[in-house]
Amino acid sequence: MITPILRPDLFGALATHAGDAYYEYAYVPEFPQVVRNLRNYGGDIFR
């Protein structure tokens, strides 16, 4: 995405199909559940 933004003389358009485009709506609602589950493991994500 950076190259077309920095070089509009070379690119006539920019399209992105990012999988996390609606990150706030897709993942943020799950944070409280994850935090509650991590408490069972002392907050250690690797346990």
- Using the predicted structure, report yes or no on whether residue 10 has a pLDDT greater than 90: yes
CA distance 9 to 22: 30
- Using the predicted structure, report yes or no on whether residue 44 has a pLDDT greater than 70: yes
- Using the predicted structure, report yes or no on whether residue 6 has a pLDDT greater than 90: yes
- Using the predicted structure, report yes or no on whether residue 39 has a pLDDT greater than 90: yes
Domain boundaries, the chain: 19-47
- Using the predicted structure, report yes or no on whether residue 24 has a pLDDT greater than 90: no
Q: Where are the alpha helices (DSSP H) in 1-44?
A: 2-6, 23-26, 31-39
Mean pLDDT of 9-16: 89
Whole-prediction pTM: 0.45
CA distance 37 to 41: 8
